[in-house]
Amino acid sequence: MEETLTPISTSAEAMLKETGIPPQEYREIVRRMGREPNRLELYLFKVMWSEHCSYKNSRPLLRMLPKEGPAVLQGPGENAGVVDIGEGYAVAFKIESHNHPSAVEPVQGAATGVGGIIRDIMAMGARPIALLNSLRFGKLEGHEGQRTRYLVGGVVGGIAHYGNAIGIPTVAGEVYFHPDYQENPLVNAMCVGLLRTDELKKSRASLGRPVYYAGAKTGRDGIGGAAFASEELSENNEAKRPNVQVGDPFLGKLLMEGTLEAIQRDLVEGVQDMGAAGLTSSLSEMAHKSGLGLELNLDQVPQRETGMNPLELMLSESQERMVFVPRPGKEKELEALFAHYGLDCVPVAQVIQEPVFRIKAGGEVVAEVPTDALADAPTYTREMQESPEVQSLRSKDLSALPIPADLAPILPQLLSSPNLCSRTPVFERYDQQVGTNTALVPGKGDAAILRIKGTGRAIAVKVDANPRYSKLHPRLGAMHALAEAARNVSVVGGRPLAYTDGLNCGNPETPHGYYELSETISGLAEASRALGIPVVSGNVSLYNEGPSYRIPPTPMVGVVGLLENLEKRAEQGFKKAGEFIVLIGEPLGELGASEYLWVTQKLEAGNPPRLDLGREAKTQAAIRELIYLDLTRTAHDVAEGGLAVALAEMTFPYSVGATVEIREQDRPDALLFGEAPSRILFTVNQAKLHEATRLLELSGLKYRILGQTGGSELTVLLPRTQLKWGVNELKSVWEAPLREVLP
């Protein structure tokens, strides 16, 4: 049917080749503009209609996600989501991906990813108080392992470089290794900011107001990066490779202080960061959200390099730039404020009635596009089909698996696997405490806790995703991701308020890729509804596939929870001897999609564990109640590696051992290393044991008193065998692997 459509002029065809804009979208552009666009205008569309900026493949699916909740002050649609935490305070948070830039240049890619999400939080009027990150890498072993090691070092170094210098603590995160990330490492950064509810800012501008540009000068950095981020990393990208964007945390810090002071002194009515696609998206989106137009004068834009043309200026992704709309009469104060910090702060645009984005250079109009034409990209719903390989992996029968004769060596083997070993070598490179709010540091608990100065309150934060579950069952995997992130927040005493999701998937234009994206989002939506946790922000990163690998769908779910009383919190480590160890849930786990299968048999197969969301919600409520009633101070969820790994992890922080007994007759490997959700271990002393177990009975949850803490060994009594490991021996095998990657 193509040929029946209006033919495309030859000049246009050249530009289409150059920009990679498909003919049908070009026709839509011409229709919306009522004429053929010039080259600059076409590039504006290329950027704004890129997946990264327009969500054209995901927006229809994202509508499935529940976005309302009692605590939600700002849902998806602004620079970050905002939830009320009481006493006049709120927190803003969002996750953002920087996968492709990090694959090209790990240090700067990760650093600018952190810088970018920080500015999203600032744009809401919030002071950033915590950073999290979720990282995915390929193989550590063999030849391919060399590149992985290089990437790990670079990415961790880049996150540390930016976060440490700008003075925001990195308090939680996750690192996961899987072969399918070999060509597409994932680097998602999350930031949480604190604000007074009455200082909530939006990306708005009112008629006639000047629009200010503040921060770093514009150079030829990451030209076309946003579009770049939406293309598969393939050989021919080498040519297209943009000038690497370099982050400057020093300037970023000054820009942050200037921005927060401007907001706190009420000098500005609208704030917007310049993220991906720089001037183009920040200004056109601000105009569109305000239902107005905007006239930009490029001659006023501070420039770092000479001879930059309008296209370069519009596409530049130079870092550390913000957009402000000053309150009437506050212009001079705003300029003075940034002068104090030694930063540019100049008017570059004017808000106009006519709903167009008009760009002037050298006194002439070089581009003029209707703002809604740019903002509302066409969306796509595509046909989907599950990959047959995944189907067959999932339907593999695991009941016939041999039971290892000797189970003792398996625990150290699991603890020294890249996905379960100690993360200390990673997070000790991050400043975890600047701001002096970190009440639970990485390694001490399943989620980080940040107290809110001036209140008795605190928030708990964690980001999670299990790629193996998601690979074998995208829908169930996504449900697990939210359930686990929320569980991690609950076991430290936090009540989940909302989440942000970083959806990392493959190519949506392939049936398998679109199936995984769609199933992931509907799984999230279902879990979201069942657990009563709404989404307030997020990010979508697609096309994460290379010539030989497609990443597993990776929904990185960042949950923020509230502790009404900072004192009512729990950590992960056994503290003293003689406490009872109670398991909420049952010892028996499943082998499907387990780390145990992978580590012991290099087998990735079967169904991920079943997930009863009703029981999950009850389980989380129960542990929060136990913590709130001072019945426990030590809790930890049972995740990858199963019961044995969870117990070992609890012995490490204070080197306090334990003895537990499991009476079940089921296959011992499933009892020790099988995985299942809705399981939490906690300790309680003799005096409170009865009250604790009564609470669990009343909430109708299965539970088991497994044993007691104490000694310098972890002992597990099974019906037919007894297993014993020295805590220090386990600890040293657990600490070694990543230390070798990050010396």
Partner 1 sequence: MKIAVIVFPGSNCDRDTQWALERSGLGTDLVWHTQGNLEGYSAVFLPGGFSYGDYLRAGALAKFSPVMAEVKRLADRGYPVVGICNGFQALTEAGLLPGALLANTNLHYTCKEVLVRVERDDLPFTSVYQPKQILRLPIAHGEGRYYADEETLERLEEGRQVVLRYVEHQGQGGNPNGSLADIAGIVNERGNVLGMMPHPERAVEDVLGSVDGQGLFESLKRALEIVA
Partner 2 sequence: MKFHATILIELKEGILDPQGRAVEGVLKGLNYPVEHVRVGRVLEMELEAKSEAEAKETALSIAKALANPVMEVYTLEALKALQEVG
Ligand X SMILES: Nc1ncnc2c1ncn2[C@@H]1O[C@H](COP(=O)(O)OP(=O)(O)O)[C@@H](O)[C@H]1O
Residues that bind partner 2 in the complex, under the rule CB under 8 A: 104-105, 108, 216, 219-221, 241, 243-248, 250-251, 304-305, 318-319, 342
Shortest approach of Mg ion to residue 323 CB, angstroms?
10
212 binds, among partner 1, partner 2, Mg ion, none (CB under 5 to 8 A by kind): none
Shortest approach of ligand X to residue 20 CB, angstroms?
20
Shortest approach of Mg ion to residue 119 CB, angstroms?
7
How far out from the chain centre does Cα 538 lie?
7
579 belongs to the binding site for partner 1 (CB under 8 A): no
108 binds, among partner 2, ligand X, Mg ion, none (CB under 5 to 8 A by kind): partner 2
Between residues 203 and 607, which has the closer beta carbon with respect to ligand X? 203
Distance CA(618)–CA(621), nearest Å, equals 5
Distance CA(612)–CA(617), nearest Å, equals 9
Determine which residue in the list 257, 317, 501, 519 makes contact with ligand X, applying CB under 6 A.
501
104 binds, among Mg ion, partner 2, partner 1, none (CB under 5 to 8 A by kind): partner 2
Instruction: Name the one residue in this structure whose structure tokens are 């008017």.
Output: 347
537 belongs to the binding site for ligand X (CB under 6 A): yes
Distance CA(625)–CA(9), nearest Å, equals 68
Encoded tokens for 399: 């009941």
Shortest approach of Mg ion to residue 275 CB, angstroms?
4
- For the stretch 306-314, contacts whose Cβ atoms lie closer than 8 Å and that sit 24 or more positions apart, written own/partner, are 308/218, 308/219, 308/220, 310/40, 310/359, 310/361, 310/366, 310/367, 311/39, 311/40, 311/43, 312/220, 312/223, 313/218, 313/279, 314/40, 314/43, 314/44, 314/47, 314/278, 314/279, 314/280, 314/359, 314/367
441 belongs to the binding site for partner 1 (CB under 8 A): yes
Residue numbers 9-68 binding Mg ion by CB under 5 A: none
Shortest approach of partner 2 to residue 219 CB, angstroms?
6
- Kindly report the number of other CB atoms within 10 A of residue 142's CB atom: 8
51 belongs to the binding site for ligand X (CB under 6 A): no
Shortest approach of partner 1 to residue 105 CB, angstroms?
19
Residue 557: C-alpha distances to residues 95, 482, 499 (Å): 9, 6, 7
- Kindly report the number of other CB atoms within 10 A of residue 713's CB atom: 16
What is the helix (H) or strand (E) element at residue 62, kind and residue range? Answer: helix 59-62
- For the stretch 21-27, contacts whose Cβ atoms lie closer than 8 Å and that sit 24 or more positions apart, written own/partner, are 21/45, 21/46, 21/49, 25/49, 25/378
Answer for the pair 27, 5: CB distance below 8 angstroms, yes or no: yes
Determine which residue in the list 76, 193, 310, 443 makes contact with ligand X, applying CB under 6 A.
76
273 binds, among partner 2, partner 1, Mg ion, none (CB under 5 to 8 A by kind): Mg ion
What single-letter amino acid sits at 384? Answer: M
Kindly tell me the burial class for residue 462, based on how many C-beta atoms sit within 10 Å of its own C-beta (0-12, 13-18, 19 or more): buried
Of 573, 535, 579, 570, give the one whose Cα is nearest residue 555: 535
Shortest approach of ligand X to residue 276 CB, angstroms?
6
- 633: Cβ contacts below 8 Å, ≥ 6 apart: 569, 570, 571, 575, 627, 683
Q: Which stretch binds ligand X (CB under 6 A): 369-377, 407-415, 432-440, 533-541?
A: 533-541
Q: Which stretch binds partner 1 (CB under 8 A): 171-179, 205-213, 335-343, 715-723?
A: 335-343
Answer for the pair 346, 302: CB distance below 8 angstroms, yes or no: yes
Shortest approach of ligand X to residue 281 CB, angstroms?
7
Answer for the pair 473, 465: CB distance below 8 angstroms, yes or no: no
Q: Which stretch binds Mg ion (CB under 5 A): 79-87, 340-348, 351-359, 366-374?
A: 79-87
76 belongs to the binding site for Mg ion (CB under 5 A): no
Instruction: Name beta bridge partners: 93.
Output: 81, 192
538 belongs to the binding site for ligand X (CB under 6 A): yes
Encoded tokens for 475: 């829908």
Between residues 325 and 593, which has the closer beta carbon with respect to Mg ion? 325
Instruction: Name the one residue in this structure whose structure tokens are 């991050």.
Output: 430
Q: Quote helix, strand, coil % in the chain, to nearest 5.
A: 40, 25, 40
Distance CA(585)–CA(103), nearest Å, equals 41
Residue numbers 105-164 binding partner 1 by CB under 8 A: 157, 160, 164
528 belongs to the binding site for ligand X (CB under 6 A): no
Pairing mode, if any, of strands 210-215 and 321-326? antiparallel
Determine which residue in the list 50, 79, 97, 99 makes contact with Mg ion, applying CB under 5 A.
79
468 belongs to the binding site for ligand X (CB under 6 A): no
535 belongs to the binding site for ligand X (CB under 6 A): yes
653 belongs to the binding site for partner 1 (CB under 8 A): no
Shortest approach of ligand X to residue 700 CB, angstroms?
33
Of 560, 507, 574, give the one whose Cα is nearest residue 230: 507
Determine which residue in the list 490, 539, 634, 651 makes contact with ligand X, applying CB under 6 A.
539
Determine which residue in the list 64, 352, 398, 434 makes contact with partner 1, applying CB under 8 A.
434
275 belongs to the binding site for ligand X (CB under 6 A): yes
Residue numbers 261-280 binding Mg ion by CB under 5 A: 273, 275
Between residues 77 and 409, which has the closer beta carbon with respect to Mg ion? 77
Show the CA angle centred on residue 181, arms to residues 180 and 184, nearest 5°: 130
Determine which residue in the list 64, 566, 695, 733 makes contact with partner 1, applying CB under 8 A.
566
Q: Which stretch binds ligand X (CB under 6 A): 74-82, 212-220, 597-605, 716-724?
A: 74-82
Q: Which stretch binds ligand X (CB under 6 A): 151-159, 228-236, 391-399, 536-544?
A: 536-544
Distance CA(560)–CA(191), nearest Å, equals 11
Between residues 276 and 325, which has the closer beta carbon with respect to partner 2? 276
Between residues 275 and 443, which has the closer beta carbon with respect to Mg ion? 275
Catalytic residues: 52, 98
Determine which residue in the list 167, 179, 302, 370 makes contact with partner 1, applying CB under 8 A.
167
Size of the site for ligand X (CB under 6 A): 17
Of 377, 214, 210, 204, give the one whose Cα is nearest residue 287: 204
Q: Which stretch binds ligand X (CB under 6 A): 72-80, 213-221, 352-360, 694-702?
A: 72-80
What single-letter amino acid sits at 561? Answer: G
Binding interface with partner 1 (CB under 8 A): 157, 160, 164-167, 248-251, 253-254, 340-342, 427-436, 438-439, 441, 451, 453, 566, 742-743
Binding interface with ligand X (CB under 6 A): 62, 65, 76-79, 94, 96, 120, 275, 501, 503, 535, 537-540
Binding interface with Mg ion (CB under 5 A): 79, 120, 273, 275
